[in-house]
């Protein structure tokens, strides 16, 4: 549990309080600490808006078939202003808003070919800084890795 205690208050660093994912990850404290440090940057210190970050997470969860990740990020997406209708659009890859569509397309590019296409990069470059583009790539990678771990370890969603 050392890795968990570094990242959260003591009252939350208990298996019954952290959820199945973190309780599972706690079996490898040094790896968990390293991953959570990266994940906390992606969530709390990124140059991206919360809406863009949650768009990336939801699209990644959808494309990687991670119901756990999707369910755990819906409340964060709601707080970021992503209404249910937009979340459904993100899930199906048919988004009306041009920037959100560009983000969804970039995530799909990364998940399908490990590189954002020139067309999508050019579109995103009109809206995002160089650092934001880097954060988009790393956020997609961070949550792809998380979805892979959740699905590989068959972590059950405690909300079910």
Instruction: Give the pLDDT of residue 157.
Output: 83
Whether residue 59 contacts residue 90, with contact meaning beta carbons closer than 8 Å, is answered with yes
Confidence band, pLDDT 50/70/90 cuts, at residue 160: low
Q: Is the dihedral of CA 77, 95, 120, 65 positive or negative?
A: positive
Whether residue 88 contacts residue 76, with contact meaning beta carbons closer than 8 Å, is answered with no
pTM, two decimals, is 0.87
- The structure tokens 């990242």 sit at 7
Rounded Cα gap, residues 145 and 157, in angstroms: 17
The answer on pLDDT for 147 being more than 50 is: yes
| Count of beta carbons in the 10 Å neighbourhood of residue 17 | 14
Instruction: Give the pLDDT of residue 95.
Output: 87
The answer on pLDDT for 102 being more than 50 is: yes
The answer on pLDDT for 1 being more than 60 is: no
Instruction: Give the pLDDT of residue 53.
Output: 97
Whether residue 4 contacts residue 18, with contact meaning beta carbons closer than 8 Å, is answered with yes
CA atoms within 13 A on the CB side of 121: 10
What are 120-124's contacts with CB under 8 Å, separation 24+? Answer: 123/98
Q: Which 8-state DSSP code applies to residue 126? A: T
Instruction: Give the pLDDT of residue 6.
Output: 47
Average pLDDT of the residues in 10-36: 75
Confidence band, pLDDT 50/70/90 cuts, at residue 18: low
Instruction: Give the pLDDT of residue 41.
Output: 94
* Residues 6+ away with beta carbon under 8 Å from 6: 33, 36
How far is the first Cα of the chain from the last one, in angstroms, to the nearest whole number? 25
């Amino acid at each position: 549990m050392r890795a968990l205690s570094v990242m959260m208050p003591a009252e939350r660093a208990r298996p019954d309080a952290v959820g199945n994912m973190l309780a599972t990850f706690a079996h490898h404290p040094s790896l968990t600490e390293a991953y959570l440090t990266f994940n906390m940057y992606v969530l709390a210190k990124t140059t991206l808006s919360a809406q863009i970050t949650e768009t990336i997470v939801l699209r990644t969860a959808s494309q990687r078939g991670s119901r756990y990740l999707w369910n755990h990020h819906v409340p964060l997406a709601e707080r970021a202003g992503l209404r249910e209708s937009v979340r459904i659009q993100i899930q199906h890859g048919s988004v009306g808003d041009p920037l959100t569509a560009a983000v969804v397309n970039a995530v799909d590019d990364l998940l399908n070919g490990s590189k954002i296409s020139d067309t999508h990069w050019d579109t995103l470059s009109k809206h995002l800084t160089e650092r934001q583009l880097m954060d988009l790539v790393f956020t997609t990678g961070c949550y792809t890795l998380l979805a892979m771990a959740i699905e590989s370890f068959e972590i059950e969603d405690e909300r079910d």
